[in-house]
Chains A and B, each alone.
Chain A
Amino acid sequence: MRQQFTSLEAHGFESPTTESAFSSSSSISSSSSASDRRLKALARHFVDSSPVPAAVMDSHSQNPNDTVSPSPTSSAFHADSVFAHLVRAPEDPILGVTVAYNKDPSPIKLNLGVGAYRTEEGKPLVLNVVRQAEQQLVNDRSRVKEYLPIVGLAEYNKLSAKLILGADSPAIQENRVTTVQCLSGTGSLRVGGEFLARHYHQLTIYIPLPTWGNHPKIFTLAGLSVKTYRYYDPATRGLDFQGLLEDLGSAPSGAIVLLHACAHNPTGVDPTIQQWEQIRQLMRSKALLPFFDSAYQGFASGSLDADAQPVRMFVGDGGECLVAQSYAKNMGLYGERVGALSIVCKSADVASRVESQLKLVIRPMYSSPPIHGASIVAAILKDRNLYTEWTIELKAMADRIISMRQQLFDALRARGTPGDWSHIIKQIGMFTFTGLNSEQVAFMTREYHIYMTSDGRISMAGLSSRTVPHLADAIHAAVTSFA
């Protein structure tokens, strides 16, 4: 029986069997791409009329009465892949910077891309307290590797909540906070987003413009619709506070709002405490739900408490909020993927129910979180000496970055580089939003082997006293070459 499948021809599919008949008992789905895929797959397996070299045929038996035979097994057959329609995804823009940097053979190259701390010698740093904690763990013969509960290491969760909310937080004392261990900041944001998409009534999240490149993707895949609020003012290289208030003011009641707790990424521009208070009042009056991303507690100012102030202000008014925490930067635990999601609720009963639903999000995603990093954090946070040592090491990292800011600012001033560069010392945290455009950035990469994201963001953590002059030269050249 001959049957013409016109969709095959319509899609220009070349097959040795186009003129041959084949019957199929399968139903063609209404989605044309799926049917095309199936027909393509079917056609490539139909070998009746096409000559197949004997060498290619597999030895397994085939029923000669089948109208459709299994395809020959050798790769020499060049059978079409079921993945033929997948294109190569571009490199992640942020991580792609390091990829490009690694490929560059120049001895003067500088990586100011990814936000990972580097020492003055340009080396990654594992904190002393982390090494000590790890040694403790390895020496402890009673330790096992049994599955953690879905919500993670209980001790770690309690300590994390206290770290961000304050040890004396009423919300904690009243058992109104549920904290679940997650895969660093990303994982915490994703789990929180998925939870909100299922259980919250307003499925729009407002994110600042600009924000970390991964934010919109996380929330979109979580099932939320993403909108933006004005944040960065290129004219002042500071906060567009009026724009922020206007945009949040016109958001629908109940909408979710993503707030960077401190050290805004990528701009380094944070609201003042007074501005935070205004933001809080506005948000509470419109019942907007705060979702904090806290990736730099202690890393921004050097003080864990100071950097947690905005979060604590919101929690202090008795309202609800979400907080995603990460220990990637402040404990240097990047690759261990340690973080936590806390949801501050109105009552202990609600918190308990919320926690049960968070488990339903986590279990089908990765069942339970990894134990190693969380164990290190718990060991440090609960030991008075290790905790104190940690705060000292943390302050040292923050101070080095602040010093790099000053040095870069001074170097640009010394060169008489046109423009106002005071934003370098006003901005806070790991990143500086230089204000350089993509053309200038490309120039700096090409001519000076300086690697950074095309939005002009540089990681101060990647600078040292030795390399500041090189960067200053590059900026100077870029700014004077391209207006």
Chain B
Amino acid sequence: MTSTSTMLSLASAPPTASLSVHENLKGRLKLGGGSLSFNKERANPFINTKSFSRISMVAAVKVSRFEGVTMAPPDPILGVSEAFKADNDKKKLNLGVGAYRTEELQPYVLNVVKKAENLMVERGENKEYLPIEGLAAFNKATAELLFGASNPVIKEQRVATVQGLSGTGSLRLAAALIERYFPGAKVLISSPTWGNHKNIFNDARVPWSEYRYYDPKTVGLDFDGMIADIKAAPEGSFVLLHGCAHNPTGIDPTPEQWEKIADVIQEKNHIPFFDVAYQGFASGSLDADAGSVRLFAARGMELLVAQSYSKNLGLYAERIGAINVVCTSADAAARVKSQLKRLARPMYSNPPIHGAKIVANVVGDPTLFNEWKAEMEMMAGRIKNVRQKLYDSLTAKDKSGKDWSFILKQIGMFSFTGLNKAQSDNMTNKWHVYMTKDGRISLAGLSLAKCEYLADAIIDSFHNVS
């Protein structure tokens, strides 16, 4: 038998023919519930059988230590843009990644950002290391933006704010904190949620499970399911909530529903964990979009908020955000901050300065701040207009009587169309419309001019593909 003979030759292979083992760690860590044990004993001297014959053949010619490393699949969200770039069709439309586009479908650098950068270059500031927790002026501005400058949590210094690498990096720091100080605690995430949430908690070795969120029947919120699942989770779980403009569905709880969510979280001594990536981008108002976070804070609850300036200040590539932890005392906040720093230091030492300075300059200057608010309203307004036009096009063209009003009810950059994977593929393959396989489209990438075309594509995919 071939495998036996190659196994024998393997045993006599010279020590230089080192073998590598590939194990899909992600596959092993992805648990629906229960506790995780991180097992370091991964060293397995025997690799998978497929490579055996190849190993014995090349044993004399040194094999790569990484021979067994498999090709990873492309990122489901970021991979969409790559596929879009490769498409030469003139009608192509990129509704994949959540990055704002103008009506001309061009990327947009906010005027306030350009002004801030010019100021920074004129001043000729230095590029010294930031403290591990980031730029103090940035942290202050961010906490005040989230909670309101006169909020008791700010006045009483009960918020630990640490600059992080946008939303992702801030979530990762928080996950690392949970893993270290709340061993065995679970994070409850919505079904569905942003695709990278699970990866973050998996890599941080924090167990997670899902709570019901999206109801395909109503294309709305499964509120009863959400409450029931949060209630059923073990006491002291972390509940990941999208502060506004839920990604990918665009479906947000109403204020009354938020109150009930807060009730059940308090009842079960869960810890709310907000992901705020769209403050100001959902409704156009920074304060309105922070409503859910402020509601929870007003109840005296301790909570976490991972926050990003990627979208609302268009600072995507600068990687600027923060993790905020609201505690019951200033002392607890100071201790939490010190431990967050301890987790950041072996990850990247201290955060990048450029984006932080832009934010500090914009938010800290009343003129620029007001200008920012106006630009934000403009961006959010464009998306609302596009929603309206898309809805109008769909209802005009679709004779089936299907209710497309969810397009208007959903909020933020994304719309969950309800299209399934096959239908989403049809959107791409037949219509050159690029979107994620879960049926999510980014309205930020849609222009008024393209609404009719998109409506045709959606109607075709929905009715003619199953």
Interface residues of A (CB under 8 A from B): 24, 26-27, 29, 31, 33-34, 37-38, 41-42, 45, 58, 60, 66, 68, 70-75, 77-89, 92, 95, 114, 116, 124-126, 130-131, 134-135, 138, 143-150, 183-184, 186-187, 190, 194, 198-203, 214, 217-218, 220-221, 223, 225, 253-254, 285-287, 289, 319-320, 328, 332-337, 343, 345-347, 350, 352-354, 356-357, 359-361, 363-373
**A41's closest neighbor in chain B, by CB?**
B269
**B313's closest neighbor in chain A, by CB?**
A145
**A288's closest neighbor in chain B, by CB?**
B18
Instruction: Find out whether the CB atom of B152 lies under 8 angstroms from the CB atom of A346.
Output: no
**B172's closest neighbor in chain A, by CB?**
A365
Instruction: Find out whether the CB atom of A366 lies under 8 angstroms from the CB atom of B166.
Output: yes
User: Which residues of chain B are within 8 angstroms of A334 by Cβ–Cβ distance?
Assistant: 127-129
How far apart are A64's CB and chain B's nearest CB, in angstroms? Answer: 14
Give Cα A434–Cα B152 distance, bound, in whole angstroms: 50
Instruction: Find out whether the CB atom of A335 lies under 8 angstroms from the CB atom of B121.
Output: no
Are A363 and B325 also in contact (CB < 8 A) when A60-B299, A147-B99, A201-B43 are? no
Between A and B, 27 residue pairs with Cβ closer than 8 Å are A24-B235, A71-B300, A73-B299, A75-B152, A79-B300, A79-B328, A81-B328, A83-B332, A83-B336, A89-B339, A89-B341, A95-B129, A145-B316, A186-B348, A201-B45, A223-B38, A287-B15, A337-B352, A346-B62, A356-B72, A363-B78, A364-B203, A364-B204, A365-B203, A368-B317, A370-B165, A373-B352
Are A190 and B347 also in contact (CB < 8 A) when A82-B271, A145-B107 are? yes
How far apart are B299's CB and chain A's nearest CB, in angstroms? Answer: 5
Instruction: Find out whether the CB atom of B168 lies under 8 angstroms from the CB atom of A41.
Output: no
Interface status of B261 (Cβ within 8 A of chain A): no
Give Cα A366–Cα B348 distance, bound, in whole angstroms: 10
Interface status of B8 (Cβ within 8 A of chain A): no
Q: Among B97, B172, B184, B268, which residue has its beta carbon within 8 angstroms of that of A29?
A: B184
Q: Among B18, B78, B168, B302, which residue has its beta carbon within 8 angstroms of that of A201?
A: B18
Instruction: Find out whether the CB atom of A363 lies under 8 angstroms from the CB atom of B341.
Output: no
User: Which residues of chain B are within 8 angstroms of A286 by Cβ–Cβ distance?
Assistant: 15
User: Which residues of chain A are within 8 angstroms of B354 by Cβ–Cβ distance?
Assistant: 336, 370, 372-373
Give Cα A133–Cα B236 distance, bound, in whole angstroms: 51
How far apart are A394's CB and chain B's nearest CB, in angstroms? Answer: 15
Q: Among A148, A221, A347, which residue has its beta carbon within 8 angstroms of that of B347?
A: A221
Q: Among A116, A201, A365, A370, which residue has its beta carbon within 8 angstroms of that of B20?
A: A201
User: Which residues of chain A are within 8 angstroms of B181 by Cβ–Cβ distance?
Assistant: 83, 85-86
Interface residues of B (CB under 8 A from A): 15-16, 18-23, 25-26, 35, 38, 40, 42-45, 62-72, 75, 78, 82, 97, 99, 107-109, 113, 117-118, 121, 124, 126-132, 152, 156, 158, 165-166, 168-169, 172, 181-185, 196, 199-200, 202-204, 234-236, 259, 263, 266-269, 271, 298-300, 302, 310, 314-319, 325, 327-329, 332, 334-336, 338-339, 341-342, 345-355
Q: Among B69, B131, B183, which residue has its beta carbon within 8 angstroms of that of A350?
A: B69
User: Which residues of chain A are within 8 angstroms of B69 by Cβ–Cβ distance?
Assistant: 199, 350, 353-354, 357
Instruction: Find out whether the CB atom of B127 lies under 8 angstroms from the CB atom of A289.
Output: no
User: Which residues of chain A are within 8 angstroms of B302 by Cβ–Cβ distance?
Assistant: 81-83
Instruction: Find out whether the CB atom of A365 lies under 8 angstroms from the CB atom of B168.
Output: yes
Give Cα A289–Cα B16 distance, bound, in whole angstroms: 11
User: Which residues of chain B are within 8 angstroms of A78 by Cβ–Cβ distance?
Assistant: 328-329
How far apart are B203's CB and chain A's nearest CB, in angstroms? Answer: 4
The A-B contact count (CB < 8 A) is 319
Instruction: Find out whether the CB atom of B269 lies under 8 angstroms from the CB atom of A38.
Output: yes
Instruction: Find out whether the CB atom of A367 lies under 8 angstroms from the CB atom of B124.
Output: no
User: Which residues of chain B are within 8 angstroms of A95 by Cβ–Cβ distance?
Assistant: 129, 131-132
Are A70 and B129 also in contact (CB < 8 A) when A198-B23, A199-B69, A221-B346 are? no
- Nearest 8 CB-CB pairs, A to B? A346-B64, A335-B353, A366-B165, A73-B300, A371-B317, A364-B199, A183-B348, A372-B354
Point out which of A82, A89, A130, A352 has the most chain B C-beta atoms below 10 A from its C-beta.
A82
How far apart are B373's CB and chain A's nearest CB, in angstroms? Answer: 19
Instruction: Find out whether the CB atom of A370 lies under 8 angstroms from the CB atom of B127.
Output: no
Known: A114-B129, A335-B350, A364-B196. 10 other contacts (CB 8 A): A29-B184, A71-B300, A82-B271, A149-B82, A183-B349, A200-B65, A201-B44, A336-B353, A346-B64, A353-B70
Instruction: Find out whether the CB atom of A183 lies under 8 angstroms from the CB atom of B352.
Output: yes
